Amino acid sequence: MNVDDLFEPQHRKQLLLKHGRERAVANRHPWIFTGAIARESGPADAAIADLVDDHGVVLGSGLYSTHSQIRLRALTFGEEHFTAQLLRDRIAAAIARRASLLDGETNAVRLVHAEGDDLSGLVVDRYNDVAVVEIANQGLERLKPLVLETLQRELSPRLVFFKNDLPARRLEQLPLEAEWSGAGEPVAAISESGLRFAVEPAEGQKTGFFLDQRENRRIARALAAGKRVLNLFSYSGAFGVYAAAGGATAVANVDVSQAAIDLARTNHDLNGTMDKASFVVADAFGYVRGRAADGERFDLVVCDPPAFAKSRSEVDRAARGYKDINLYALRLVAPGGMLMTFSCSGHMSLDLFQKVIFSAALDAGRRVSFLRRLTPGVDHPVSLFCPEGEYLKGFLLQVV
């Protein structure tokens, strides 16, 4: 079947909204859960569904799933009709909104950020001539040809790579093997802020590179002159490369993964900053204890761990992890130095993260001030109607 046909009335599901569930829909939240649906009708293999009231009035439309608790990812509400063209236009508009971020110095950005671009279920990152796609929904998986065709038309990439490894895909019972369309290997050489990085979407973490930290890496570069820098949870070494480029005297990259450290080495090499860089494959929790016991000090510490809380029930344990690593990170900051610290757990609120840092500072016996709050770059928008999309938060701290 042609993808456009999936939008025809006879191929769409009708989902009848339960009484008492009008609020979520009126608030334009894109996630319509199974519990909000009284009855379903229409073909079992629908990609698209319309949410209707008792009178058959369409309240919203979007991407359907038979397996997820999120039965419908609503992309339109009320009058607006959900068509294939609307989906194409949304993707093209998201791409167009990033135009000002791409210049001679930067050719890698997040092009589509799910709910933040009114495209729940879809993430697209551009790495120079490669587009990496993550699809988190069964209905959208069926519309993959539409996504591919739109990206090809808008970007003319060498390769479109569907990574297909999101945990949500398991719930949606979708295949987990990567697929790609185009020429050559699924690797990219990108420029970011005039620096060079190797990106391997197939092997790398997430889609291959943490684009969300671009603006914070620029801050690190601006602060780094003459400083000894510690880059904890370094992954590709990106913060370390920026710091070295900004004139740091020494940069230590620490990651538990050998593959990550190999990548960090490649990236320092690409930027001619090997002479300032060191590389440690180690558990950061043990590493910071060892350095602190040795009385070692750094002028700028970056602490960007993976999400410690993957679900709400893990928040307490995660908070203890964040406190522990930040306590030692603060001890490692030389008097008058700085700490850039992050949490990318969506379940960890900004307020709780601040309390955790407060408690780490008390235990470390250091006087700490906020210089700035740190957020993802503007290519990672958060929908006002779906605050769950907010995940990365951080602080730039002055440590006396």
Could you give the residue numbers annotated as active site?
344
Q: 298 with 287: CB under 8 angstroms?
A: no
Minimum CB distance to ligand SAH smaller for 92 or for 187? 187
Q: Which of residues 209-228 bind ligand SAH (CB under 6 A)?
A: 210, 213
Minimum CB distance to ligand SAH smaller for 72 or for 340? 340
Window 290-319: contact mask with ligand SAH (x via CB under 6 A): --------------xxx-------------
Q: Which of residues 151-180 bind ligand SAH (CB under 6 A)?
A: none
**Should residue 87 be labelled a site residue for ligand SAH when binding is judged by CB under 6 A?**
no
Minimum CB distance to ligand SAH smaller for 14 or for 205? 205
Minimum CB distance to ligand SAH smaller for 147 or for 340? 340
Count of Cβ atoms closer than 10 Å to residue 55 Cβ = 5
Q: Sheet of 179-182: strands edge to edge?
A: 108-113, 122-127, 130-135, 159-162, 179-182
**Should residue 343 be labelled a site residue for ligand SAH when binding is judged by CB under 6 A?**
no
The residues, any chain, with a CB within 8 Å of residue 101's CB and separated by 6 or more, are 109, 377, 378, 379
Residue 352 C-beta: closest distance to ligand SAH, Å: 20
Q: Which of residues 255-294 bind ligand SAH (CB under 6 A)?
A: 255-257, 260, 283-285
* Angle, CA 352 vertex, CA 347 and CA 353 arms, to 5°: 85
Distances (CA, A) of 187 to 117, 233, 272: 26, 22, 21
Q: Which of residues 177-206 bind ligand SAH (CB under 6 A)?
A: 205
Give the C-alpha separation, 232 to 254, whole Å.
5
Residue 260 C-beta: closest distance to ligand SAH, Å: 4
**Should residue 239 be labelled a site residue for ligand SAH when binding is judged by CB under 6 A?**
yes
For residue 221, how far is the Cα from the chain centroid? 21
Residue 21 C-beta: closest distance to ligand SAH, Å: 38
Q: 242 with 222: CB under 8 angstroms?
A: no
Instruction: Tell me the pairing of strands 250-255 and 228-232.
Output: parallel
Residue 1 C-beta: closest distance to ligand SAH, Å: 40
Q: 264 with 236: CB under 8 angstroms?
A: yes
The residues, any chain, with a CB within 8 Å of residue 170's CB and separated by 6 or more, are 176
Q: Choose one: 6-14, 38-46, 230-238, 376-384; the region binding ligand SAH (CB under 6 A).
A: 230-238
Residue 132 C-beta: closest distance to ligand SAH, Å: 15
Residue 209 C-beta: closest distance to ligand SAH, Å: 7
Give Dmax over CA atoms of the chain in angstroms: 72
- Under the rule (CB under 6 A), what is the footprint of ligand SAH? 205, 210, 213, 233, 235-236, 238-239, 255-257, 260, 283-285, 304-306
